Amino acid sequence: MKDIVVVGAGALGLLSALSLAQDGCSVLLLEAAQVGREASWAGGGIISPLYPWRYGLAVTALAHWSQDFYPRFGEALFAKSGINPEVYVTGLYWLDLEDQAKALAWAVRHQQELYLVEKEKVCRHVPALDTSFKQAVCMSNVANIRNPHFVKALRAVLDRMPNVEIREQSPVSGFLRSGEKVCGVIGAWGVAKARRTVVAAGAWSGSLLKTLCLELPVEPVKGQMILYKCAEDFLPAMVLAKGRYAIPRKDGHILVGSTLEHVGFDKTPTEEALASLKASAEELLPALAEAEVIGHWAGLRPGSPDGIPFIGEVPQYPGLWLNCGHYRNGLVLAPASCELLKNLMLGETPIVDPTPYSPAGRLGTL
């Protein structure tokens, strides 16, 4: 019997397993398909909420902790795995924000370096930008992470740990119980007993909890993205305008995203979204009209009320823990979320007040 079974091997599941295993727990990590190939692979990897001032304190607390943690964590992952997750500090420009005053007030309140930038200075720094915008604000310390490399690096580190077992193609269909206590999971592949069970299955987490007649308000929200390959110096900073963003990678790849679609578990890329994303890309960076789209994909975000994740034990079912429902901010919130989960599971002092994330009082019944 393992100490812990973690259901779902995206960034949250991988990092949950790593945090717990580093403290000596034996961990079984179960993935329905392939490790890290769902939302964690599909997203852009901006290490900030897109509009941080539009979120409450619960999201802000996790985001700030993670943002401070990522640079040294990226270096440590590279050293241990040989895979560079490419934590790339480029800064982020927001153009023509409707709630610019709110953003600037938020920055003062939270002591964040978000500030107005003269248009001419932005255009000098990012010459590929269309010049029709009127105002810009910037956070120069915002980074992005190359999320496919990040999950590969996490997997590589876990593969070397003797107290971690990873099983792919192992979908979970229900929970083992002794009375109300959850003591593992079951699937067509068999049974996995564990002292505690963590659900970190992203958009699929709600489906699992339905087997216990619990209603977890986490639903799939489809997002589509496109990818260009440009010169390495084409886009020196991330840019966000009219709800769409462009993210540069160090090798010249440019990601443009993303859509927000409530279409259930359909992950099929569509021509309509491709046309919309291309139009946004070319409006923001006109030179992309001459560039080829070399990638187009979709992923399913775990949508949740106000974007506040569920982190903690389910009171109705002792032994069942959640780390899910991060909506658009899974990658930026992952380090803090997994550290908080470990704190709670191992009886440590929590890094932030755990109350807002607790499943208690936030789950319905079916």
Residue 221 CB-half CA count within 13 A: 18
Tokens of 319: 């032994």
User: pLDDT value at position 316?
Assistant: 96
| Tokens (6 digits) for 362 | 């936030």
Q: What is the pLDDT of residue 118?
A: 97
pLDDT (average), residues 85-111: 96
Average pLDDT over residues 14-24: 98
DSSP codes, 188-238 = TTEEEEEEEEEE--GGGHHHHHHTTTEE---EEEEEEEEEEE--TTS--SE
Asked if residue 198 lies in contact with residue 14, where contact means CB atoms within 8 angstroms, the answer is no
**Whose CA is closest to 313, among 276, 349, 334, 341?**
341
Alpha helices (H) in the chain, listed in sequence order: 11-22, 39-42, 57-81, 100-109, 119-125, 147-159, 205-210, 271-284, 330-345
Q: Residue 106: what are its φ and ψ, rounded to 5°?
A: -60, -40
Global pTM exceeds 0.75? yes
Structure tokens at 108: 């003062």
CB 317 within 8 A of CB 180: yes
**Percentage, residues of the chain above pLDDT 90:** 100
86: left (phi over 0), alpha (psi -120 to 50) or beta: left
Q: What is the pLDDT of residue 136?
A: 98
Question: In the chain, what are the domains?
Answer: 2-53+149-216+305-365 (3.50.50.60), 92-140+220-303 (3.30.9.10)
**How confident is the model over 24-40, as a mean pLDDT?**
97
The DSSP bridge partners found for residue 226 are 256, 296
How many Å apart are CA 39 and CA 17, to the nearest integer? 18
For the chain, percent helix, then strand, then coil, each to nearest 5? 35, 30, 35
Q: Which residues pair with 44 in a beta bridge?
A: none
Whole-angstrom Cα distance, residue 131 to residue 241? Answer: 12
Tell me the mean pLDDT in the region 29-58. 97
Q: Find all residues with CB under 8 Å of 329, minimum gap 6, and list them.
A: 49, 59, 63, 307
The tens digit of pLDDT for each residue in 57-87 reads 999 999 999 999 999 999 999 999 999 999 9
How many alpha carbons lie under 13 Å from residue 104 in its C-beta half-sphere?
A: 11
pLDDT at 33: 97
Dihedral sign from CA coordinates of 231, 236, 241, 247: positive
pLDDT bracket for residue 126 (50, 70, 90):
very high
Q: What is the pLDDT of residue 313?
A: 98
Do residues 301 and 203 lie in contact, with contact meaning Cβ atoms separated by under 8 Å? yes
CB within 8 Å of 124: residues ≥ 6 apart: none
* N-term to C-term CA, the chain: 31
- Cα(201)–Cα(233) distance, integer angstroms: 37
Summarize the confidence of residues 196-207 as an average pLDDT. Answer: 98
